[in-house]
Amino acid sequence: MSENAVIYLRVSTKEQAEDPHNLENQEKRCRAHCQQMGLNVLHVFIDRGESARTSDRPEFQRMLAFCKTSRNNVRYVVVQDLSRFARNHLDQAEAIGALGLSGVRLRSTFESNIDETAAGKLAANIFGAFNQYFSDAHSEKQRVRKRDAVAAGRVPWRAPLGYLNVQSKAGANIEPDPVRAPLILEGFQLIDAGQSKATALKIITDKGLRTVGGAELSAQTFDHILVNSLYAGWVTLPSNPELEPVKGQYQAIVPQDLFDRVQAILTGRKPQPPKKNKAFNPDFPLRHITHCANCGRPITGAFCKGRTKLYPRYWCANSKCTCRVSETKADLETAFMAHLRRLRPAQDTLADLPTIAKNISMAKQDELRSEMSRLSRVLEEQKLEKAELVKMRSRKELSLEEFDEAKKLNANEIHTTEEDIRRLNRSESASEVIAKAVQLVKTDLVQVWKAAKPEHLQVVQNLLFEGGLEYSKKSGFLNRSKSSIFYILSSIYIENPNLVELSGIEPLTSSLRTRRSPS
């Protein structure tokens, strides 16, 4: 009566599993060995794409359980070689011991001297130790290769969704998938536009985004994509969190500024979107830049319906205000142009404007450098804190939950500081702003106002009256903002009495008049 056996087969990767010759050849050798020994094969257990560095393999565990429940029916487990069975000598010893308790013996087609004798057990231990050594050595080489690849800005592992793996002279890397990459980008754009993650995922799914296997993306997979900086062109090594992100040598799918905005949205730090300028209306250019001198509310403007036609008017938007401001469009704009004429400096003042502008520019540049220096110190401290968090986690001083929370908070702080630095770098230099303002002061503002396009009118307003104007029926127009270029120029004169008096720049605030009066 022939004895029974089971066969165990394994390959390490899914790519190997897709090659029919790998598993097919293993099975042929094992069946030939069973035939030679006169064994009847009851079952074949196959682990496709499973590492032998651990015994936690689905079919391997099923095989052990099968042998335990069929201890009187199964005599042997047959493998092609011990490296298919295990690549960890402790797992190998434990599994062989568990099989032995069930009366089952291990046989290998390549290592025929493996048996239950002292020499056979020694041979099994030696082969097991060598298998683990080769596995460990291979892992070390792979870690070094991955680290070197990441340091060079390449992606040496399986490409994430939206990219394809490619080979070049420099080594393994990735490139955008022409089919999936545009849909990944659209997913980020939808989140940036205010769509929920569920809605964004549905839209790109309906447009055809699928995994490599043809399945629809899960919400969890989409979440991972949205926070993966690899899509913005940064390579990291998850197994080594101390390694700083490296700029990738491949094409990013998502622009950096878009990626940053999406991270801010996902972490609840979404900056307020720029408000649409509902205040500006080319038919009523003074609307909202002009405030009621009595209550401070903006003065609005619109076409009021009469019996036979529409009448353009400005009025105070506060129905409870007693100012009684209500002017025709023509009257208020005429008064405004008269105000512009009063602001024009006298000819003997124009020669001093470059000197004044230079003083303003130097002060603004000093302020900018000081703020940039402060932000750079803050950023450096935040990055040191990030490194310290990693060290504390490695020393087990922080739980995983505490580490994740602190790391997220630190990332938010770094993002905010970097955004502030980028904003300062993008800001127009003080000298450029002052030069524009001085040039504006030298011009005939009334003619500029009459000839300007609507968007240029806003430029004039922002340079001259950043904080707006006040208007009352009794006093007319008054500068409301201390950031007005005329206020600044006048203030600098007072702080620098050696400069020529700025006669002709009117009207001055009462405080300035007081400061300029002789003591």
Segment of 138-142, 192-196, 269-273 carrying the highest mean pLDDT? 192-196
- Is 376 within a domain? yes
- Is 213 within a domain? yes
Mean pLDDT of 286-302: 84
Same domain, 22 and 61: yes
- The number of folded domains in the chain is 5
pLDDT in the model for residue 344:
60
Does residue 273 have a pLDDT over 50? no
pLDDT in the model for residue 276:
47
Mean pLDDT of 119-146: 82
Residue 133 has phi, psi (to 5 degrees) of -60, -50
Does residue 251 have a pLDDT over 80? yes
pLDDT in the model for residue 154:
85
Give residue 225's domain range.
Answer: 163-266
Mean pLDDT of 294-300: 86
Mean pLDDT of 400-417: 80
Does residue 321 have a pLDDT over 80? yes
Kindly report the CATH number assigned to the domain that includes residue 61.
3.40.50.1390
Q: How confident is the model at residue 107 (pLDDT cuts 50, 70, 90)?
A: very high
Same domain, 20 and 65: yes
Identity of the residue numbered 443 = T
What are the residues whose beta carbons fall under 8 Å from the beta carbon of 254, sequence distance 6 or more?
184, 185, 188, 231, 232, 262
Q: How confident is the model at residue 255 (pLDDT cuts 50, 70, 90)?
A: very high
Mean pLDDT of 69-91: 89
Does residue 506 have a pLDDT over 80? no
pLDDT in the model for residue 225:
93
CA 300 to chain centre: 41
What are the residues whose beta carbons fall under 8 Å from the beta carbon of 247, sequence distance 6 or more?
153, 233, 234, 235
pLDDT in the model for residue 37:
92
Identity of the residue numbered 357 = A
Same domain, 399 and 442: no
Q: How confident is the model at residue 509 (pLDDT cuts 50, 70, 90)?
A: very low
pLDDT > 90 fraction of the chain, expressed in percent and rounded: 26
Does residue 502 have a pLDDT over 50? no
pLDDT in the model for residue 282:
76
- Is 413 within a domain? yes
Does residue 30 have a pLDDT over 90? yes
Mean pLDDT of 328-342: 86
pLDDT in the model for residue 516:
38
pLDDT digits (tens, 9 = 90+) for 443-496: 666 776 676 666 566 666 666 676 678 888 888 887 655 445 555 544 444 344
Same domain, 409 and 438: no
- Is 351 within a domain? no
What are the residues whose beta carbons fall under 8 Å from the beta carbon of 433, sequence distance 6 or more?
364
The helix (H) or strand (E) run that includes residue 107 is strand 105-108
Beta strands (DSSP E) in 435-474 are 469-472
pLDDT > 70 fraction of the chain, expressed in percent and rounded: 75
- Report CA-CA distances (Å) from 151 to 131, 147, 475: 30, 6, 69
What are the residues whose beta carbons fall under 8 Å from the beta carbon of 292, sequence distance 6 or more?
298, 299, 316, 317, 318, 321, 323, 325, 470, 471, 472
Helices (H) and strands (E) in the chain, counts: 19, 14
When comparing pLDDT for 199 and 429, which is higher?
199
Q: How confident is the model at residue 410 (pLDDT cuts 50, 70, 90)?
A: confident
Kindly report the CATH number assigned to the domain that includes residue 225.
3.90.1750.20
Whether the upstream peptide bond of residue 507 has omega within 30° of 0, thus cis, is yes
Burial of 167 (0-12, 13-18, 19+ CB in 10 A): exposed
- Is 271 within a domain? no
Q: What angle do CA 324, 329, 335 make, to 5 degrees?
A: 80
- Is 359 within a domain? no
Q: How confident is the model at residue 226 (pLDDT cuts 50, 70, 90)?
A: very high
pLDDT in the model for residue 444:
65
**What's the whole-number average pLDDT of the chain?**
78
Does residue 109 have a pLDDT over 80? yes
Segment of 72-86, 135-149, 236-250, 396-410 carrying the highest mean pLDDT? 72-86
Centre a 10 Å sphere on the Cβ of residue 373 and count the other Cβ atoms it contains.
10
pLDDT digits (tens, 9 = 90+) for 44-58: 999 988 877 788 889
Same domain, 95 and 125: yes
Same domain, 35 and 122: yes
Same domain, 241 and 319: no
Length of the chain: 519
- Is 83 within a domain? yes
When comparing pLDDT for 301 and 367, which is higher?
301
Same domain, 113 and 190: no
Does residue 501 have a pLDDT over 70? no
* Cα-Cα end-to-end distance for the chain: 126
Same domain, 211 and 98: no
Same domain, 35 and 119: yes
pLDDT digits (tens, 9 = 90+) for 347-403: 555 556 566 556 666 666 777 788 888 888 888 888 888 888 888 877 777 787 777
Residue where one domain finishes, among candidates 121, 137, 153: 137
Measured N-to-C along each axis, helices 256-266 and 219-227 cross at an angle, to the nearest 10 degrees, of: 120
Identity of the residue numbered 256 = Q
When comparing pLDDT for 460 and 88, which is higher?
88
Same domain, 173 and 49: no
pLDDT in the model for residue 495:
43
Please tell me whether the overall predicted TM-score, pTM, comes out greater than 0.85 for this model.
no
Residue where one domain finishes, among candidates 266, 300, 325: 266
Q: How confident is the model at residue 317 (pLDDT cuts 50, 70, 90)?
A: confident
| Residue appearing with tokens 């904080």 | 467
Mean pLDDT of 193-197: 90
- Is 487 within a domain? yes
At 123, is the secondary structure helix, strand, or coil? helix
Centre a 10 Å sphere on the Cβ of residue 23 and count the other Cβ atoms it contains.
20
Mean pLDDT of 249-267: 90
Same domain, 421 and 489: no
Buried b (16+ CB within 10 A) or exposed e, 286-318: bbbbbbbbbeebbbbbbeeeeeeeeeebbbbbb
Q: How confident is the model at residue 222 (pLDDT cuts 50, 70, 90)?
A: very high
